[in-house]
Structure 1
Amino acid sequence: MKNIFVINGGQVFGHSGGLFNKTLSEFTLDFFKKELDFNLRYTDINRPYDPKQEVENYKWADVVIYHTPIWWFQVPHEFKKYIDVVFTEGHQTGIYKNDGRSSVDPAINYGTGGMLHGKQYMLTTSWNAPKEAFTMPGEFFNETSVDDGPLFGFHRMNAFTGMMPLESIHFHDVEKNADIQVDLKRYQAHLSKVFVGEEVGS
């Protein structure tokens, strides 16, 4: 039985109501509730949280699922604050012990001091940018993927803790051309493939 920790990083701010990522988070919870081999915990960064308990959630989890919009090519500031606060609380208490280096040879082994080895994480992101902005020659992201480009640092952050990535899924053009039913169908297929080992509709 796997333990799944779902984090909704969809901050409510300005013109953003956080609805898309709230919907994804709730869909995730419903998906796993229908399966018998999963335990669930959930945090919404818009609600008060106890950093110590959040560290315990990371330690408890076999898989962490992050849901976040991308604002100005980064995660929202309250989600970044959550990471800063919780990971600092987790220093030597379950998330990381140090940066991995030793005084004997401080030039090597940086990033190997994580304490979450054996755990995995999955990332979902939502964008105003269309997917073609990442894939077409001459477009904005120079044919660099979400994971290797704007979210490279986020993935290295999780590597620092010792966690390994599961396949990400990204939702594009959600401000001007969102189709939530199509997106949820694609997301359900992704969850089934990653966690149940089957293709929906096969």
Structure 2
Amino acid sequence: MMPDFSFENAARAEGARMIVGVDEVGRGPLAGPVTAAAVRLDPARIPEGLNDSKKLTAGRRALLAAQIMAVADVSIAHASVEEIDRLNILAASHLAMCRAIAGLDVAPDLALIDGNLLPRDLPCAGRAIIKGDARSLSIAAASIVAKTCRDAIMVDLAQQHPGYGWHTNMGYGAKAHLLALQNLGVTPHHRRSFKPVHNILYQEKSISD
């Protein structure tokens, strides 16, 4: 299955004019922010090869992200580790989505959202699309931009905090990352509400007590 423009065309037929695709990346990692992107594609200038970002190589994603940024209205936003720990990861993901939509040059009248839930504070009408990044070109574009941006953040953080392998695992709980947590400890960029990180902090507290 490849994404197409059918959801956007149906919305346009219903009267929507400013239609954006919205997706987030980074719900599962133990470290780093959650990142969302909102993309309004020009139907006459859609880059070829858009697909769910998880189905693309890093090089292909980078190329497509640059093409998307050149021809579309794009906004990227984040929710911080502190917000993830305070709100919970779902609420923080929705916060990042709403921030991305709010950052667009022109306010949309419909947001196509990847997933089965709409953010509570969505600033416009919304439509949730399960596996939307594999079905809607606008959401696929948002997934590519969001992942490319967040990966770059994690590569930068990997240079500041060597040993955790963030340049390859992007903060996910890979074996090397979990081992580094045990040996090197918890950084300010780790999500303390996530069980592997919480458990290590609890162990440290128990030992110190």
- TM-score, L = length of structure 2: 0.25
Pick the structure with more helix per residue.
Answer: 2
Higher relative contact order (CA 8 A, sep 6+): 2
- TM-score, L = length of structure 1: 0.26
